[in-house]
Amino acid sequence: MKKTESTPATPTVQVLERMFALLEILAGREESVPLKEISEKSGLHPSTAHRILNDLAVGRFVDRPSAGNYRLGMRLLELGNLVKARLSVRDAALLPMRELHKLTQQPVNLSMRQGDEIVYVERAFSERSGMQVVRAIGGRAPLHLTSVGKLFLAFDDTQRLRAYATRTGLPGQTRNSITQLPVLERELSRARQYGTARDNEELELGVRCMAAGIYDDQNKLVAGLSISAPADRLDESWLPKLEATAHEISAAMGYKAPSF
């Protein structure tokens, strides 16, 4: 008589849930965690937790620095680095940018710092936006004349900011352009305080912008998201939506807001 395969006593899904629970407990501590504490926090019998942790250790997802103590293993770091290497700000931003454009009906720009300039790397816009000029992908602009550029300058220390001012001469393009270092320093102080920045017709007359930063898993500013609009139509109610979208993109890049 042919034997049929028996159903495993513990469903696979339950095993996976327990594995993830144990990894979360280890992730919450910098140092190694004793088996007794892991068992108490997970609600698992010590023998069950021990068996699962040993299986994870075989795959290098968990390390045993000493008998009965566990910590996250190097395999997780290797996998994390692979994921990080494949992350693209542009890919993470594209759909949220389009949603923000639908809400505002104004151009939404994604830009990054390159030396002393901002480079526009993506945009979401429509012909109905009413804008005379839409920044082309690949276009550049001086840091101090753009909302996103000010965010990057706001993170520079005093020495680096003054070096930028000396190197570039703070050239202006409109009558509203900031061309004096003390004025720029006051503007950047506000950007640091609020986490957002503005361009008040400083790059182009008739166009105003607001920007929020995008951060990576190291809490580093890697890009900026901005809304451009005719000067008389920039709506302050867009700012929370802009900040929420920038936060959504940051979260996709691995950013976690610091807890206080």
Do residues 179 and 236 both lie within one domain? yes
**pLDDT tens per residue across span 106-117:** 999 999 998 999
**Entry pTM:** 0.69
- Residues 43-66 have pLDDT tens digits of 999 999 899 998 888 889 998 888
Residue 136 lies in a domain: yes
Q: How many Å from the N-terminal Cα to the C-terminal Cα in the chain? A: 67
Contacts of 219 (CB under 8 A, 6+ apart): 255, 256, 258
Answer yes or no: is 218 within a domain.
yes
CA atoms within 13 A on the CB side of 106: 20
Contact, 101 vs 126, CB < 8 A? yes
* Same domain membership, residue 128 and residue 45: no
- The mean-pLDDT minimum among 3-7, 64-68, 238-242, 246-250 falls in 3-7
Q: Which of 27, 51, 81 is the last residue of a domain?
A: 81
Residue 120 resides in a domain: yes
Give the span between the Cα atoms of 184 and 154, in whole angstroms.
10
Of the listed ranges 21-25, 123-127, 128-132, 194-198, the one predicted with least confidence: 128-132
